[in-house]
Structure 1
Amino acid sequence: MKFLGVFAALTMLVAGTAQAAESVTVTDVTGREVTVEVPVQKVILGEGRLIYGLATLDSEDPFERVVGWRDDLKKADPQGYGLYAAKYPRIDDIPTFGGIKDGTFNIEQAISLNPDVVIMNLEAKGATEEGGFDEKLAAVGIPLVYIDFREAPIKNTETSMKILGQLTGKEDRAAEFIKFRSDHINEVEKRLREANPEKPDVFIERAAGYSEECCMSFGNENFGKMVEMAGGVNIAAPIIPGTFGTINPEQVIASNPDQFVGTGGDWEAYAPGMGWVPVGPGADMTEAKRKLDGLMERPAFTGIDATKNGNIHVVWHQFYNSPYQFVVIEQMAKWFHPDLFADIDPEATFKELHDRFLPLDYKPGYFISSSDTATN
């Protein structure tokens, strides 16, 4: 009888678990309708940096659902990877993949992990379809969902977070994050709308110092759009038709921007010994300041107003590929319009984000300016 009682209890537990699963139709950022059994238990991330979004929902353990992921986080954000690895050492054992676009993604390995869903960043869609990976996954009943924090993050971040909420069964948590994000963006936009200040010309350099060539930048989306939302004029917007592109040094000189904002990170794995500025969580700010000063010694920048007036800044590059963009919008607004945003504290905003939504303690180091007195 005792055995039968235990068996009955186990049967009820299994039945309850089965009932908890629900088949839902998710509309991804491309408009595709995808049927998924939720909450998903086994997830493959087509890009490792998608963990930035997932971590805001699975705050106790962002890796509890991840059975495979692309190998980019360790190279693109070694500081962040190190913090996560210190708290969740098993992440070093999660199977990794190459990229879809560079042809090193192993579809057979992905299928063998039997995921409930594969989540891809939007930029991989063309290569995914060209390689027939979408058809191969569909043939074995594995759903593929696209989200986006990079191509059009201002347009797609809210939708992407809602999708992650649907997939994980944490819609309320996603809604809480979305409200936190939108409240901060709305406050910046409200002040700018009411004050209508003169807007500085801004040059935003993507991955400043990553190579000897100049200059990668942004068009009307991603950091280019964030500059506009922060009350600046993106000088590259009329030149670059899409999200990403380049402008030549002569165009920078001719535009003579009032403000310079570069993106930086620790890219020793990608571009060893180059001039990138290693900002990020817990960054060595003395070294970051030294390399920031070096950026302005390049011929295109020595004579521009931004350099003459000390309006030289670098921000963490991964704001461009995460749902945390509202923090850097605040920071740029404070740089562009210091009087209007004197009481805004982007560091406090990012710390609150960590305290409320992320499993890691906040470590400063994401922003630096030429006027800063850099000490660790």
Structure 2
Amino acid sequence: MRVTRLLAAIAATAITLVASPGLAETVTVTDVTGRTVKVETPVERVILGEGRQIYFVAALDREAPFKRVVGWRDDLAKADPETYAAYLEKYPEIAKLPTFGGMKDGTFDVEQAVSLKPDVILMNVDAKTATEEAGYIQTLEKVGIPLVYVDFREKPMVNTEPSMRLIGKLFGKEEVAEDFIKFRKQSIAAVTDVLDREKPKRPLVFMERAGGYSDDCCMSFGDENFGKMVEIAGGINMAKDIIPGTFGTVNPEQIIASNPDQVIITGGNWEGYVPGGDWVGVGYGADVALARKKLEALTKRPAFTGIKAVKNGQVHAIWHQFYNNPYQFVAIQEMAKWLHPDLFRDLDPEATFKELHARFLPLDYKPGYFVSLTDGE
């Protein structure tokens, strides 16, 4: 029965596509996996394979960030509730947007996706295996619905620029995409130029992923994502040679033995996932006093027993969602200030983030993305 309904939806969509000549230009684009895909641009109807893709959609469609979105995954409200609430307040119509489950957990409804007649589906590269195993690409190709992969998570320091250029091309916003990429490069250079010139001693940094999200310790990053950001910011990623991929786990005894100079923990408001959890709730407009209190509590865990970072108060928390959007350059600047406060005394990551909002985003900036045990010293 489900197959019959899906075929009917495919047929209906095919008729619609044939009957609507449109004025779009068919172009061939290359996504971050190297796939070449034909798409009619500029696209007008888009399905977001993850709700957090609004981070980059909004940067390109600032005036009306949801004008192309006909459906999206249901993760934003739980993963980043403050940002979702801010968008909901400004654009109340998003409450009625059709939502989807995820590809990886098998809850994405391809039948529903076909019925929405999108011009393109944007999918994160981490869902590629599940997408292919389910045969969704072939199913969608039958009705001329292209799917392209972007990546701000698995290898963001490699794939952010091509992902932004790809979406800029699809949206007809190439100039905006290039302006964003230029701003990103300049913001990172404000760190790397100084490090290249001064060549300071690099502190050993343990980067903990989602500390306090569960009782287990400790998730971390290999030589990508926040692990790579630490290196760009002037540190040595403790887990670089321990975790072979982007994400993995470090044994608590290894942390004690490595004795890192600094610890940076990613956090967010995960009340929707782990009610009352020990996570550090940094993010859009967060209560930084409460976040600092929770950050300090995490230093009492056995994995941090006696390490230099705790003894010297060099423990910090940063917004987890920097790991999955094109704003990583703000995180790099903030980490550089923590790792080399004297070198970057005049660097202002808050001002960089404010400028990002003023130039590219539809929301007003609200602080709360960073907290440190050194705050107020």
Q: TM-score, normalised by structure 2?
A: 0.93
CA distance in 2, matches of 1:57, 1:122: 20
Partners of 2:133 and 2:23 in 1: how far apart? 36
1:24 counterpart SS class:
strand
96, 102, 113: which one aligns with 2:116: 113
Report the Cα offset of residue 302 of structure 1.
3.3
Query: Which of 46, 49, 68 matches 1:46?
Result: 49
Task: State the secondary structure of the residue aligned to 2:65.
Answer: coil
Q: Which amino acid in 1 is paired with 2:243?
A: I
What is the aligned counterpart of 1:194 among 197, 203, 215? 197
3-state secondary structure, aligned to 2:59:
coil
- Secondary structure of the equivalent of 2:302? coil
Partner of 1:232: 235
The 1:97/1:296 distance shift into structure 2, 3 A limit, reads same
Question: Offset of 1:20 from its aligned partner?
Answer: 5.0
3-state SS, counterpart of residue 300 of structure 1: helix
Instruction: Identify the residue that residue 174 of structure 2 maps to in structure 1.
Output: 171
Aligned residue number for residue 362 of structure 2: 359
Structure 1 vs Structure 2: percent identity of aligned residues?
65
Q: Give SS of 1:37's match.
A: strand
* 2:16 corresponding residue in structure 1: none
Residue 69 (structure 1) aligns with: 72
Aligned length: 358
Please list, as runs of the form range in 1=range in 2, the aligned pairs for 1:135-174 lying within 5 A after superposition: 135-174=138-177
CA shift digits 1:164-216 (9 cap, x unpaired): 10010000000000000011112211111111100000000000110011000
Aligned match of 1:209:
212
Separation (CA, whole Å) in 2 of partners of 1:341 and 1:250: 33
Aligned to 1:312: 315
Q: 1:368 offset after TM fit, Å?
A: 0.2
SS at structure 2 position matched to 1:157 = helix
Match of 1:103 in 2: 106
Q: How far off its partner does 1:373 sit?
A: 4.1
Query: How far off is 1:278 after superposition?
Result: 0.4
Partner of 1:23: 26
Unpaired runs of 5+ residues, structure 1, are: 1-16
Q: Is 1:277 the counterpart of 2:302 in the alignment?
A: no
Which amino acid is 2:314 matched to?
A: N
Distance in structure 2 (CA, Å) of the matches to 1:346 and 1:297: 29
1:343, distance to aligned residue in structure 2 (A): 0.7
How far did residue 152 of structure 1 move? 0.2
Q: How far 1:46 moved relative to its partner? A: 0.4
| Equivalent-residue separation in structure 1 for 2:23 and 2:160 (angstroms) | 28
* 1:287 positional shift: 1.2
Match of 1:263 among 263, 266, 270: 266
Post-superposition offset of 1:372: 1.6
Aligned to 1:330: 333
Could you tell me whether the CA contact under 8 Å between 2:256 and 2:305 is conserved in 1?
A: no
Post-superposition CA distance 1:127-185 (Å, at most 9, x none):
00011111111111100000000000000000000011001000000000000001111
Structure 1 counterpart SS, 2:67: coil
Secondary structure of residue in 2 paired with 1:362: coil
Distance (whole Å) between structure 1 residues aligned to residue 224 and residue 45 of structure 2: 32
Question: Residue type of the partner of 1:251?
Answer: Q
CA distance in 2, matches of 1:138, 1:23: 15
Residue in 2 that maps onto 1:88: 91
Q: State the alpha-carbon separation in 2 of the partners of residues 32 and 337 from structure 1.
A: 41
Aligned residue for 2:305?
Answer: 302
In structure 2, the residue matched to 1:132 is 135
Q: TM-score, normalised by structure 1?
A: 0.94
- Alpha-carbon distance between aligned partners in 2 of 1:264 and 1:79, rounded to the nearest angstrom: 13
Q: Secondary structure at the match of 2:303?
A: coil
Letter in 1 for 2:210: A
| Contact 2:29–2:166, Cα closer than 8 Å, also in 1 | yes
Q: Which consecutive segments of 4 or more residues in structure 1 shift more than 2 A? A: 17-20
Q: What letter is aligned with 1:58?
A: D
CA deviation after TM superposition for structure 1 residue 290, in Å: 1.2
- 1:185 and 2:177 matched: no
- Deviation of 1:19 after TM superposition, in Å, equals 7.5
AA of the residue aligned to 1:108: E
CA distance in 2 between partners of 1:77 and 1:184 (Å): 24
